[in-house]
Chain A
Amino acid sequence: MTLLQDRPELEAAEASPPPAVAQVTESWFDTSDHKRLGLLFVYTSLLFLVAAAVVGLLVGAKDVSPGFVSSEAYLRLYGFHTQATVLLFLTAIWIGIATYVVPLQIGAGRLALPRLLATGYWSYFVGGGIYVASFLVGDVSGTTVASKPVAAVGGAANDATKLWIVALALISVGFLLAAGSLFTTVVTHRSEGMTILRVPAFSWATLVASAITLVATPVFLGGLLLFGIDQHFGGTLFAPATPGSLSIWQHTVWLYGRPDVFLLTLVGLGAATDIVTTHARRPLLNHTAGLGLIGVFGALTLTTFTAGDSVTNAVIVPTYTTAVALVAAPLGALVLLWLGTSALGRPRFHVSLLFVVAALGLWLLGAGNAIAAAAKDVKGFDGSSAWVAGNVHALVFGPPTLLAIGALYHWGPKIWGRRLHASAGALAALLLFAGFAASGMGYYLLGYNGVPLGMTGDLTSYQKGLYGLAEGGGAAIALGVLIVISDLVATALHRGGRPAGDDPYEGLTLEWATSSPPPRWGFDQVPEVRSEAPLAYRREAERLAAGGDPGPVGGGAGGPAAISASAGG
């Protein structure tokens, strides 16, 4: 079979009108369009990010001025800041981006089980509202950031805590339903020729993360059910005297005892891989190896469940076991693949690459501190040390946030039909990196100094300076977030920015083969898929057919034949 052939049946198909679905009109409230659902997730998550950032600033203000809020209020605010950032913002924005991009990347143009995902969004939305309300109506005693069980005070929980439990259950169910829909989409809706090993890295990472969410989030739901019954009916399971309760708590409720927290990075790795290959203008050196590394990263996150329940003398936190620490190996190998791909491709600067580089910087910062902490054999990294707050900012919040915003800058032209402003993106990347690094280092150094989380009295001037550094970092993060949101508002709502065109990057994957923004039905025509980079392949074939020289992906190692052969096509 040659590359050039007549397909008369397709000419007939070209003449046919768009699918009937084009005539369907839906409001934002009852939509099953993956693009609208994706945007709903993205916009809502950004609203919650603003709330989390404001509360984060209050937490920082308490660190600098001890009398600003009471110690009890500090722990509530810290819990809100952490949980809202991870659950309401980071997880949701990744679901939103995946919901928009994945059906396009695999040539489906629609979701499998879209009503399931829509139900998931509304469950998340209502749960998020109740979550915020729970902190407004009273003192929430529940938290997912405490490494030790939270026993019911006075035999029964207050209304705020019950609301908190219901809210987290609704949010988790929402994510579970969304994961079910995204998983099924990648498994069943791939276009012809797109074998599972030809799926773009971001779609693959979404598949892996969805699979892990499907088995990990129900464990959290189980923990919430136990916690809810325990809090409502008197508090016997999580009472300090109950043997085994610590283990149950740490593996079901505690945020850092579950694999979920790693999934934010996992999806970010997929997005970063697509960003790097698109702007290097060549496929990944070994696409199958890249997918394998992402899969290994995902599998290793499940080893958090095998960790013991000791909360002392562990490196960083109890669940940071040797097996979990091994996630650094696939991550490092993937970074090497990115570097090799960039070296052999024709890299071109794009602001989204800045976010990838910034995320790399934070990973290095976090890894360096993990090694330093292990080498110093510092005791007490049990979730109550300020060191953990540094790790949360440098590793848990920082890289996924940077990569999510980088993904918005990368896929923004497809989503809104216009380019986000590169200068605003660059400034935001710089501020966010500096903010997360300063915040992380401030707390890391406080931890090395033996300062527990939230302790603001009896501090030396050095320690006060470190709190100031961390708070300065928080302010930089808030400013970066403000710039990103302003840019999004200017571009998405006020039609600012330059028109992007359908394929502004000469992209490799199928989402660039449709209009920007895409029509309701996704594609007028889905290009044939014979490799992991179908558009590069097509572009090259057209160039060769026109008598041109081998182009960017070359006539040699990276050419169409090689691409096809490497993917088994």
Chain B
Amino acid sequence: MQLALPAGGRPTPRNVLTSGALALAAGATALMGSLVGAYITVGHLAKAWPPGGVQLDQYAGNMMALTMLMSVVTVEWACYAIKRDDQAQSTWGLALTIGFGAGFLLLLWQVGRQVGFGPGSPKVGAFAVLFFALIGAAGALALIGLVALILALGRTLGHQMNGSRHEMIRATAWIWDFVVLAWIAVYATIWLFT
């Protein structure tokens, strides 16, 4: 049979999860960027920033940043291992990342409780709103990343991830990398350069 311009093939779509994860991570970056921008705008125009009486726990801030930076190493370790079909090492990498992530969330919760003012504290004013918006958004993103990590770990433990099929772990690692990036931006804005 002779065909004029026969049907083309239907290639298997590739990098779907990675592309989707990067697209949504771009959105998360924009969210944090808008909040950081608002914080800087108000802080720049305020007479005193942070307002008098606000004491931020520098040690807790540093520890959270350190925890998140270590989690980047472990999540990339998980990616590296699964690409080489090493499920055991990948499992360790993911489990440790989940541990770091959970630790970060606990620390964040403690910081929110012990900061000495609430979101509506009249003495602290706009700073309180911006502070809780920033750490709340960072915490929500970390929670989403943690859920993705737990799903990836479940797939790995179920032997559904291997050297030739590991896109979910790569996509999850991208999400987590952006979560860490978001936190570093918050840390730098509130703890380092305020």
Contacts and interface: CB of A to CB of B under 8 A. Distances in A.
B3 A218 contact: no
B126 A236 contact: yes
B130 A237 contact: yes
A6 B30 contact: no
Given A243-B42, A248-B42, A113 B126 contact: no
B136 A225 contact: yes
Contacts of A184: 16, 19-20, 23
Interface string B24-48: 1011111111110010011011100
A244 B16 contact: no
Interface in B98-129: 118-120, 122, 125-126, 128-129
Nearest to A14: B7
A26 interface: no
A233 B42 contact: no
A243 B46 contact: yes
B11 interface: yes
- Looking at A180, A211, A226, A234, the one whose CB has the most chain B CB atoms below 10 A away is A226
B8 interface: yes
Interface in B119-161: 119-120, 122, 125-126, 128-130, 132-133, 136-137
A237 B24 CA distance: 28
B15 A233 contact: no
Interface in A138-189: 176-177, 179-181, 183-184, 187-189
A236 B122 contact: yes
A21 interface: no
Contacts of A252: 34, 38
Interface residues of A, number: 66
A402 B136 CA distance: 41
Contacts of A180: 20, 23-24, 27
Contacts of A72: none
Interface in A188-229: 188-189, 191-193, 210-211, 214-219, 221-223, 225-226, 229
Given A233-B129, A527-B8, A189 B30 contact: no
A545 B4 contact: yes
Contacts of A251: 34
Contacts of B27: 176, 180, 214-215, 217-218
- Looking at B11, B38, B119, the one whose CB has the most chain A CB atoms below 10 A away is B38
Given A116-B20, A188-B19, A222-B137, A236 B6 contact: no
Contact of B126 (A189, A219, A242): A242
Given A191-B10, A214-B24, A4 B4 contact: yes
Contacts, number: 172
A192 B9 contact: yes
Contacts of B122: 234, 236
- Looking at A187, A236, A523, the one whose CB has the most chain B CB atoms below 10 A away is A236
B4 A541 contact: yes
A247 interface: yes
A218 B15 contact: no
A446 to B, nearest CB: 35
A243 B23 CA distance: 34
Contacts of B10: 107, 191-192, 523, 526
Contacts of A221: 31
Contacts of B30: 214-216, 218-219
A10 interface: yes
A3 B5 CA distance: 6
A538 interface: yes
A502 to B, nearest CB: 15
B3 A237 contact: no
A253 to B, nearest CB: 11
B31 A226 contact: no
- Looking at A179, A193, A222, A527, the one whose CB has the most chain B CB atoms below 10 A away is A222
B145 to A, nearest CB: 16
Contacts of A215: 26-27, 29-30
Contacts of B11: 191-192
A538 B4 contact: yes
A244 B129 contact: no
A184 to B, nearest CB: 4
A112 B21 CA distance: 12
B13 interface: yes
A232 B126 CA distance: 13
B9 A229 contact: no
B41 A248 contact: yes
B129 A247 contact: no
A529 interface: yes
A303 interface: no
A230 interface: yes
A218 B133 CA distance: 13
Nearest to A13: B7
Interface string A99-141: 0000000011000110010000000000000000000000000
Contact of B6 (A5, A112, A219, A232): A5
Contact of B19 (A5, A112, A225, A545): A112
A503 interface: no
Given A6-B2, A537-B5, A225 B137 contact: yes
Contacts of B24: 176-177, 180, 214
Contact of B133 (A7, A108, A225, A541): A225
Nearest to A530: B5
- Looking at B1, B32, B133, the one whose CB has the most chain A CB atoms below 10 A away is B133
Contact of A193 (B8, B28, B32, B45): B8
A456 interface: no
Contact of B129 (A183, A226, A527, A529): A226
B19 A187 contact: yes
Interface in B37-79: 38, 41-42, 44-46
A542 interface: yes
30 contacts: A3-B4, A5-B2, A5-B3, A6-B2, A10-B3, A13-B7, A107-B8, A107-B10, A112-B16, A112-B19, A179-B23, A184-B16, A184-B23, A189-B13, A192-B10, A215-B27, A218-B31, A222-B35, A225-B35, A234-B122, A236-B120, A236-B128, A243-B46, A244-B41, A244-B42, A244-B46, A245-B126, A526-B9, A527-B5, A542-B5
Closest 6 CB pairs of A and B: A233-B120, A234-B120, A222-B34, A218-B31, A243-B45, A528-B8
Given A5-B2, A184-B20, 18 more contacts: A3-B5, A7-B7, A10-B6, A107-B10, A113-B17, A179-B23, A187-B19, A191-B8, A191-B11, A192-B11, A193-B8, A214-B23, A218-B34, A219-B34, A222-B137, A236-B125, A237-B130, A245-B42
